[in-house]
Amino acid sequence: MTISRREFVKLMGLAGAAGMLPGSAFAAAKKPSDLYEIPKFGNLCLMHMTDCHAQLNPVYFREPSVNLGIGPAKGKAPHIVGKNFLQHFDIAPGSIESHAFTYLDFDNAARKYGKVGGFSHLATLVKRLRAERGDGNSILLDGGDTWQGSGTAYWTRGKDMVGACNLLGVDVMTGHWEFTYLDKEIITNIGDFKGEFVAQNVSVNEEALFDYRFPDFSGFDEDSGLAFKPYTMKSINGMRVAVIGQAFPYTPIANPQRFIPDWTFGIQDARMQSMVNQVRETEKPDLVVVISHNGMDVDLKMASRVSGIDVIFGGHTHDGVPRPVEISNKGGKTLVTNAGSNGKFLAVMDLDVSKGRLKDYRYRLVPVFSNLLEADKDMQAYIDKVRAPYKDKLEKKLAVAGETLYRRGNFNGSFDQIICDALNKVNDAQISLSPGFRWGTTVLPGQDITMDHVMDQTCITYPETYRREMSGEEIKAILEDVADNLFNPDPYYQQGGDMVRLGGLDYVCEPAQTMGKRITNMTLDNGSKIEAQKKYMVSGWATVGSKSPGRPIWDVVADYLKEQGTVKVKKLNTPKLIGVKGNPGIAS
Partner 1 sequence: MSLNQKRRVFLKGSLAAGTLGAAVGLLTPGAVLAAWNKNAFTSKNIDEAIAGVVGNPVTTPSKDITIKAPDIAENGAVVPVSVSTNMDGVESITLLVEKNASPLAAVFHLPKGSLPDVSTRVKMGKTSDVIAVVKANGKLFSARKGVKVTIGGCGG
Least Cβ distance, residue 220 to partner 1 (angstroms):
9
Phi, psi of 548 (to 5 degrees): -80, 160
**Helix, strand or coil, per DSSP, at residue 400:** strand
Is residue 245 a contact point for partner 1 (CB under 8 A)? no
Are 263 and 203 in contact by the 8 Å Cβ rule? The answer is yes
Is residue 484 a contact point for partner 1 (CB under 8 A)? yes
Least Cβ distance, residue 342 to partner 1 (angstroms):
12
In the set 43, 294, 485, 573, which binds partner 1 (CB under 8 A)? Answer: 485
DSSP secondary-structure letter at 70? -
Site for partner 1 in 284-343 (CB under 8 A): 316-318
Least Cβ distance, residue 500 to partner 1 (angstroms):
6
Is residue 209 a contact point for partner 1 (CB under 8 A)? yes
Residue range at the interface with partner 1 (CB under 8 A); choices 159-167, 210-218, 234-242, 352-360: 210-218
What type of residue is 359?
A: K
Least Cβ distance, residue 524 to partner 1 (angstroms):
22
In the set 105, 544, 563, 579, which binds partner 1 (CB under 8 A)? Answer: 544
The enclosing H or E element of 477 equals: helix 472-487
Site for partner 1 in 401-460 (CB under 8 A): 435-439
- Return the number of the residue (233 or 270) whose C-beta is nearest partner 1: 270
Is residue 478 a contact point for partner 1 (CB under 8 A)? yes
The enclosing H or E element of 206 equals: helix 206-209
Rounded Cα–Cα distance for residues 44 and 86 (Å): 29
- Return the number of the residue (89 or 250) whose C-beta is nearest partner 1: 250
Is residue 542 a contact point for partner 1 (CB under 8 A)? yes
Least Cβ distance, residue 412 to partner 1 (angstroms):
13
In the set 12, 49, 247, 254, which binds partner 1 (CB under 8 A)? Answer: 254
Is residue 102 a contact point for partner 1 (CB under 8 A)? no
Rounded Cα–Cα distance for residues 353 and 331 (Å): 17
In the set 496, 503, 511, 552, which binds partner 1 (CB under 8 A)? Answer: 496
**Helix, strand or coil, per DSSP, at residue 556:** helix
N-terminal to C-terminal alpha carbon distance within the chain: 28
What type of residue is 571?
A: K
Residue range at the interface with partner 1 (CB under 8 A); choices 29-37, 62-70, 495-503, 519-527: 495-503
What type of residue is 416?
A: D
- Return the number of the residue (316 or 364) whose C-beta is nearest partner 1: 316
Residue range at the interface with partner 1 (CB under 8 A); choices 109-117, 122-130, 248-256, 528-536: 248-256
The enclosing H or E element of 380 equals: helix 377-387
In the set 297, 376, 498, 506, which binds partner 1 (CB under 8 A)? Answer: 498
Phi, psi of 573 (to 5 degrees): -85, 80
Handedness of CA 186, 494, 314, 382 (dihedral sign): positive
- Return the number of the residue (195 or 219) whose C-beta is nearest partner 1: 219
Can you give 210-245 as a three-state secondary structure string? CCCCCCCCCCCECCCCECCECEEEEEECCEEEEEEE
Contacts 24+ apart (CB under 8 A), 214-222: 214/183, 214/184, 214/187, 217/187, 217/190, 217/191, 219/190
Is residue 212 a contact point for partner 1 (CB under 8 A)? yes
Residue ranges binding partner 1 (CB under 8 A): 176, 209-212, 215, 222, 248, 250-255, 257, 264-267, 270, 316-318, 435-439, 477-478, 481-482, 484-485, 488, 492-493, 495-498, 500, 515, 542-545
